[in-house]
Amino acid sequence: MILTPAEWQVLALSAQVGICATLLCLVPGIFFGWLLARKDFFGKSVLDAILFMPMVLPPTVPGYLLLVTFGSQGVAGQWLKKHFDIELAFNWKGAVLASAVIAFPLMVQAAKLSVQMIDRRLELAASTLGSSPFKVWWSVSLPLMLPGILIGSIMVFSRSLGEFGATITFVGNIAGETRTLPLAIYSATHQVDGDAMAVRLIIICLALAFFSLLMSNLLTRRAEAWLGVRRA
Amino acid sequence: MLELDFIFRREQFSLSAKQILTAPITGILGASGSGKSTLLALIAGLLKPQQGFISLNKKILYEKKSKTWVPSHKRHIGLVFQDGQLLPHLSVGHNLLYGFNNIQPSQRRFTFDNIVDLLELNTLLDRRPVALSGGEKQRVALGRAVLYSPELLLLDEPLSALDERLKNQILPFFLRIYAECKIPMIYVTHAVSELEYLTDTQFVVQDGQLIAGK
């Protein structure tokens, strides 16, 4: 299967958006996952609901909210433009933000589950061996969270590759700038002679989704074996 | 010398202790759920009493009156858990060094090689905890706690998960550790035979109180 330069461009842009969205979700996802799993505080249920809302909302809703907040007329958009000369609307960086917002709950959920699976007594043992709370987190909790973080990252990446509604609402469908795989498929299906292109991109999507899930499975098994949870 | 004079309450459970423990090896007996592990967690700083004080070698670790509270990582009290609680992502060697690396070289009273020899761990150093037997895990956990050079070593039913044959193999290591390292120990168990082997100084946790045994 030979791809045209335009299709390679779509693929490269999708990978770029997916990788950047995954990196953007990583630190806050781990933080909120840990917070929800380990801490009890006033408003926890509210925070939990807010963090997971992108999962249940039609993606066009977060897309529209991003547009009014980070668009050229939005408060955050104007602030970013004025202080950092950054424009998100109708820009690939905006596609990263849209993908990250939609996929963020997957990272939080994966991190939260991985924290809940850690045996607290391991952390207590580390504490009685002279490790401060931060060192316990760094040297015990974080390594034991790795399989979950890995799964979360792959899920965020895969979800970003498939992100459509929020992206098209916030950053549009601009070839070479914001046209990621699903948007390119959508465009191709609306062209008179776009069927062949659509089929090629759909095959790529199927292959990427399959390999992402396969990688997730293999890496998790490797990580679990490394942690001693399961033999390789 | 460990001085205990505290009350701890959590929901329906309460535990109080007013004792001075001075023996090299102190045994504490008690039925399941009597509060033995809670007592060790209070001494180690993993739980906080509501009243009273705890001091070790005249240093206050907890005192309600003066609002003193030394957290677990600053107490220099080692704790060996029931099932070792070795860090699964580290090799045996790195588990042994975990606490050792947390203290200043000047605070280290034992060398890595000494303890590895004493507990016969030489052949296990590169293994992962998952590849160890129950008895090996407990020896590594004991070595890890000793290498931290604690002022007091708490042993929370360290042999309860082992069969009689393994128990008889491991018990002498506790005496060997005390003989070589001179770290006072508090050994908690529900097995009278283990305590009779290790020490004559025994206490009992009964009806929410720590009371002198024989």
Q: What confidence score (pLDDT) does residue A229 get?
A: 63
pLDDT tens for each residue of A128-161? 999 999 999 999 999 999 888 988 999 999 999 9
Question: Does residue A101 register a pLDDT over 90?
Answer: yes
| Superfamily of chain region B2-212 | P-loop containing nucleotide triphosphate hydrolases (3.40.50.300)
The alpha helices in chain A, defined as continuous H runs, are: 5-38, 44-56, 60-70, 75-84, 92-116, 120-128, 133-136, 142-161, 165-171, 181-189, 195-227
- Determine which of B43, B87, B138, B153 to mutate to test the interface with A (most A C-beta atoms within 10 Å): B87
Q: What residues does each domain of chain B span?
A: 2-212
The Cα A166–Cα A180 span in angstroms is: 12
Q: What confidence tier does A113 reach under pLDDT thresholds 50, 70, 90? A: very high
Give me the percent of chain B exceeding a pLDDT of 90. 65
pLDDT, mean of residues A18-46: 95
Q: Is A127 on the interface with B (CB under 8 A)?
A: yes
pTM, two decimals, is 0.85
| Partners of residue B103 in chain A, C-beta under 8 Å | 130
Q: What confidence score (pLDDT) does residue A6 get?
A: 86
User: Which residue from B103, B90, B84 is spatially nearest to A139, judged by alpha carbons?
Assistant: B90
Specify if A89 maps to a domain.
yes
- Determine which of A121, A123, A128 to mutate to test the interface with B (most B C-beta atoms within 10 Å): A128
Specify if A54 maps to a domain.
yes
Question: Does residue A66 register a pLDDT over 90?
Answer: yes
Question: Does residue B199 register a pLDDT over 80?
Answer: yes
Residue of B nearest to A144 (CA): B89
Q: What confidence tier does B77 reach under pLDDT thresholds 50, 70, 90? A: very high
Which of the 8 DSSP states describes residue B126?
Answer: T
B91 CA to chain A: closest CA distance, Å?
10
| Partners of residue A125 in chain B, C-beta under 8 Å | 79, 81, 85, 87
Q: What confidence score (pLDDT) does residue A1 get?
A: 67
Per the structure, the count of domains in chain A is: 1
Q: Is A125 on the interface with B (CB under 8 A)?
A: yes
pLDDT, mean of residues B185-196: 90
Q: What confidence score (pLDDT) does residue A231 get?
A: 47
| Partners of residue B105 in chain A, C-beta under 8 Å | none
Give me the percent of chain B exceeding a pLDDT of 70. 100
3-state secondary structure B40-56: HHHHHCCCCCCEEEEEE
Question: Does residue A2 register a pLDDT over 90?
Answer: no
Specify if A96 maps to a domain.
yes
Q: What confidence score (pLDDT) does residue B168 get?
A: 86
Q: What confidence tier does A89 reach under pLDDT thresholds 50, 70, 90? A: confident
Q: What confidence score (pLDDT) does residue A228 get?
A: 67
The Cα A216–Cα A121 span in angstroms is: 28
Cβ contacts of B187 within 8 Å, gap of 6 or more:
B25, B26, B27, B28, B155, B158, B174, B194, B195, B198, B199
Residue of B nearest to A142 (CA): B89
Cβ proximity of A173 and A183 under 8 Å: yes
Q: What confidence score (pLDDT) does residue A198 get?
A: 92
What CATH number is associated with residue A106? 1.10.3720.10
Q: What confidence score (pLDDT) does residue B214 get?
A: 62
The rounded Cα B167 to chain-centroid distance in angstroms is 17
Q: Indicate the residue of B130, B144, B145 with minimum beta-carbon distance to A228.
A: B130
Q: Is A95 on the interface with B (CB under 8 A)?
A: no
Q: What confidence score (pLDDT) does residue A232 get?
A: 41
pLDDT tens for each residue of B100-128? 999 999 989 899 999 999 888 999 999 99
Q: Is A78 on the interface with B (CB under 8 A)?
A: no
Q: Note whether A143 contacts B99, CB cutoff 8 Å.
A: no
B3 CA to chain A: closest CA distance, Å?
19
pLDDT, mean of residues B58-62: 94
Which of the 8 DSSP states describes residue A2?
Answer: P
- What own/partner pairs with CB < 8 Å and gap ≥ 24 does A59-64 have? A59/A102, A59/A163, A59/A164, A59/A165, A59/A166, A59/A169, A60/A165, A60/A166, A60/A169, A62/A98, A62/A101, A62/A102, A62/A166, A63/A98, A63/A165, A63/A166, A63/A167, A63/A168, A63/A169, A63/A170, A64/A169, A64/A170
B196 CA to chain A: closest CA distance, Å?
27
